[in-house]
């Protein structure tokens, strides 16, 4: 089968090339890669682990302790991902020129005596510019009507002009490979990301008469969802990243794909098209030996806007592994104080691949308003389908640190863990970890079986006055305020002695002080 294919005030001052880069409320970085000056030495080998690698642990084995540490830790993850997953994405070439008009963008690139050109279409919304814009990769699967109705332009990008599909790995074609060679080990996803970065270069140089260079997003579906994810991860000038139904080589954790029934195998995705870099061939049968996984690629986007849309009705797309990547990556967002900047939504009714879904329309508008128009403040949300709900507790053996702030920034939000007293018989316990921000919170609850196995559980949470739950995942719930009862989903009720699972919920108000009991 082949398928075509919330405002947190966060300020961390980061020093990069040519001065200072400031993130505020998830704003895009001023440069493509603000950590390019960080000294990174990629080791020749690394330990294998079936669990997801700790995104907070540096290559030297120490863990980051401050938000300012993330800049260079991010660069380590990027370099490891390029080495093993994507192949190298080169920096801006020596010469990038072009034009921006109301209908199109032209790009001309020269490097080391080689030249290439490509173009993209532009569709403007009503009103007067300059406009924010969303790059739509591949031209299908995105709700362009809603994008334009929200006040953003659409940049229609044909990635096949930059890196063609259907070519052998030793004879890749397209603008990227005209510059860097047909035998380049860089895969199509990184090449396509390079193409969008060059479009951004041209928009920056254009003076902002038509499009705003500091208000750009990217989206795409299926294999173009894989591309949108890579583009947002590899260029920090992208303010809003919105992959749709990206499947293997996209958002879903690579370690989870082999165990997720019906999902596209890693070897199949590697062989179908040269999406992955050539080096990924060493990991198709053993993803546990990878030094990174896609939850860390989610983290590369942090603290900028990220809205992941997935389809739980098509097994091939690996949405369960996608939910794990989003939940784990959200831990980095929360540690950086930007927990409201990430959204994940797989709870949809229609299973048609790459359809425009009504469930996504409102969050799409809200994300555009917040990150591109800069007029909104809607909180990010997690809506995980019970059909494909992953369990992060099964995949991590690391905890999320409390990162200190840099000079002049707000005090760190401290996740609080509230222990619970076991009910009579000690059948299970529940502990709640709360990540609080101004006006909202996310709570993760860990349920642990006692000395005997259990076949189901109910957690009763006593919420503080004024707190209201807006969404929950990996559990059913009764009520939104006061005393709320959560019951296990069909896949996470049976626990062996001492085994744990996690579920979570998001709410408004104050979640700190919540007490939980388990039965």
Which one of 150, 197, 222, 321 is the catalytic residue?
222
- pTM to 2 decimals? 0.80
220 phi and psi angles, rounded to 5 deg: 175, 160
Residues 342 and 242 in one domain: yes
Residues 383 and 488 in one domain: no
Sorted by sequence, the CB contacts under 8 Å of residue 305 that are 6+ apart come out as 26, 217, 239, 240, 241, 341, 342, 367, 370, 371
Using DSSP's 3-state secondary structure scheme, residue 381 falls into coil
Residues 211 and 289 in one domain: yes
Lowest mean pLDDT among 166-175, 193-202, 400-409: 400-409
Residues 350 and 471 in one domain: no
Q: Give the CATH number of the domain where residue 24 resides.
A: 3.40.50.1820
Q: Is 91 in contact with 193 (CB distance < 8 Å)?
A: no
Q: Give the CATH number of the domain where residue 482 resides.
A: 2.60.40.290
Residues 362 and 486 in one domain: no
C-alpha 120/C-alpha 104 separation (Å) is 6
Residues 130 and 252 in one domain: yes
Task: Give 414-462 as a DSSP string.
Answer: --EEE--PPPTT--EEEEEEEEEETTEEEEEEEEEE-SS-BS--EEEEE
Residues 420 and 356 in one domain: no
Q: Is 242 in contact with 307 (CB distance < 8 Å)?
A: yes
Per the domain annotation, does 4 fall within a domain?
A: no
For residues 328 and 139, which has the higher predicted lDDT (pLDDT)? Answer: 328
Residues 383 and 423 in one domain: no
> What's the mean pLDDT in 197-218?
96
Question: 112 is written with which tokens?
Answer: 């080391």
Per the domain annotation, does 407 fall within a domain?
A: no
Question: 353 is written with which tokens?
Answer: 């691949």
Per the domain annotation, does 397 fall within a domain?
A: no
> What's the mean pLDDT in 235-258?
98
Q: Write the CA distances from 186 to 31, 229, 371, integer angstroms.
A: 22, 16, 30
Phi-psi group of 25: left, alpha or beta (phi > 0 → left; psi -120 to 50 → alpha; rest → beta): left
Average pLDDT taken over every residue of the chain: 89
Question: Which residue, chain included where needed, has tokens 């294999």?
Answer: 223
Strands (E), 269-360: 305-309, 342-345
Does residue 222 have an active-site annotation? Answer: yes
pLDDT at position 42: 93
466-510 pLDDT, tens digit each: 999 877 777 888 888 889 999 997 778 888 898 888 888 878 888
Peptide bond into 303 cis (omega under 30): yes
> Can you state the percent helix, strand and coil of the chain, rounding each to 5?
25, 25, 45
Question: Which residue segment(s) compose the domain that 185 sits in?
Answer: 11-388
- Last residue of some domain: 354, 388, 422? 388
Per the domain annotation, does 41 fall within a domain?
A: yes
Per the domain annotation, does 395 fall within a domain?
A: no
The confidence band for 406, taking pLDDT boundaries of 50, 70 and 90, is: low
Give the CA-trace dihedral at 296, 301, 305, 311, to 10 degrees: -50
Which one of 68, 150, 353, 385 is the catalytic residue?
353
Residues 266 and 316 in one domain: yes
pLDDT at position 444: 82
- 342-345 vs 211-221, strand pairing mode: unpaired
Residue 409 clears pLDDT 60, i.e. is over it:
no
Does residue 206 have an active-site annotation? Answer: no
Per the domain annotation, does 399 fall within a domain?
A: no
Residues 367 and 238 in one domain: yes
Using DSSP's 3-state secondary structure scheme, residue 32 falls into coil
Q: H or E segment at 491?
A: none
For residue 401, give the nearest of 63, 77, 62 by alpha carbon: 63
Q: Write the CA distances from 324 to 85, 198, 226, 420, 424, integer angstroms.
A: 18, 32, 16, 26, 33
Residue 15 clears pLDDT 90, i.e. is over it:
no
> What's the mean pLDDT in 386-404?
89
Question: 42 is written with which tokens?
Answer: 């990629």
C-alpha 480/C-alpha 494 separation (Å) is 25
Residues 240 and 127 in one domain: yes
Residue 158 clears pLDDT 90, i.e. is over it:
yes
Lowest mean pLDDT among 9-18, 20-29, 471-480: 9-18
- Last residue of some domain: 388, 422, 446? 388
pLDDT at position 17: 31
Give percent above pLDDT 70 in the chain.
90
Per the domain annotation, does 50 fall within a domain?
A: yes
Residues 474 and 365 in one domain: no
Per the domain annotation, does 3 fall within a domain?
A: no
C-alpha 418/C-alpha 440 separation (Å) is 18
Domain count, the chain: 2
């Amino acid at each position: 089968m082949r398928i075509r294919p919330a405002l947190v005030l966060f300020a961390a001052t980061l020093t990069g090339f040519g001065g200072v880069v400031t993130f505020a409320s998830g704003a895009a970085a001023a440069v493509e890669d603000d950590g390019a000056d960080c000294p990174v030495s990629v080791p020749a080998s690394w330990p294998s682990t079936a669990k997801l690698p700790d995104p907070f642990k540096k290559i030297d084995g120490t863990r980051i302790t401050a938000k300012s540490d993330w800049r260079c830790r991010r660069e380590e993850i990027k370099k490891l991902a390029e080495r093993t997953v994507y192949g190298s994405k080169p920096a801006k070439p020596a010469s990038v020129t072009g034009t921006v008009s109301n209908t199109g963008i032209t790009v001309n690139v020269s490097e080391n005596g080689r030249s290439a050109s490509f173009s993209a279409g532009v569709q403007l919304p009503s009103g007067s510019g300059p406009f924010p814009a969303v790059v739509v990769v591949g031209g299908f699967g995105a709700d362009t009507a809603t994008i334009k109705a929200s006040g953003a332009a659409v940049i229609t990008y044909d990635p096949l002009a930059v890196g063609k599909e259907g070519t052998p790995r030793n004879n890749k074609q397209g603008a990227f490979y005209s510059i860097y060679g047909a035998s380049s080990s860089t895969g199509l996803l990184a090449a396509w990301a390079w193409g969008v970065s060059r479009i951004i270069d041209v928009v920056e140089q254009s003076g902002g008469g038509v499009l705003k260079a500091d208000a750009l997003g990217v989206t795409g579906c299926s294999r173009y969802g894989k591309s949108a994810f890579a583009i947002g991860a590899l260029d920090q000038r992208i303010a809003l990243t919105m992959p749709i139904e990206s499947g293997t080589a996209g958002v879903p954790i690579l370690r989870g794909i082999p165990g997720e029934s019906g999902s596209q195998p890693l070897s199949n995705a590697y062989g179908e098209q040269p999406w992955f870099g050539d080096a990924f061939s060493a990991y198709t049968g053993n993803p546990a030996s990878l030094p990174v996984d896609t939850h860390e690629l989610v983290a590369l986007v942090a603290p900028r806007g990220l809205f992941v849309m997935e389809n739980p009705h098509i097994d091939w797309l690996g949405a369960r592994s996608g939910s794990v990547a989003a939940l784990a990556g959200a831990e980095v967002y929360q540690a950086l104080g930007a927990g409201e900047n990430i959204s994940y939504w797989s709870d949809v009714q229609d299973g048609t691949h790459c359809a425009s879904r009504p469930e996504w329309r409102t969050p799409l508008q809200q994300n555009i308003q917040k990150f591109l128009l800069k007029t909104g403040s809607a909180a990010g949300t997690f809506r995980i389908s019970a059909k494909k709900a992953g369990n992060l507790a099964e995949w991590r053996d690391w905890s999320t640190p409390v990162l200190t702030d840099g000079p002049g920034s707000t005090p760190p939000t401290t996740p609080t863990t509230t222990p619970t007293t076991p009910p009579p018989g000690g059948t299970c316990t529940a502990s709640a970890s709360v990540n609080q921000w101004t006006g909202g919170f996310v709570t993760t609850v860990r349920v642990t079986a006692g000395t005997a196995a259990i076949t189901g559980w109910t957690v009763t949470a006593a919420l503080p006055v004024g707190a209201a739950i807006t969404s929950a995942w990996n559990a059913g719930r009764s009520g939104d305020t006061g005393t709320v009862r959560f019951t296990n989903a069909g896949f996470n009720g049976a626990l062996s002695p001492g085994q744990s699972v996690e579920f979570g919920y998001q709410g408004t108000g104050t979640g700190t002080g919540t007490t939980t009991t388990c039965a």
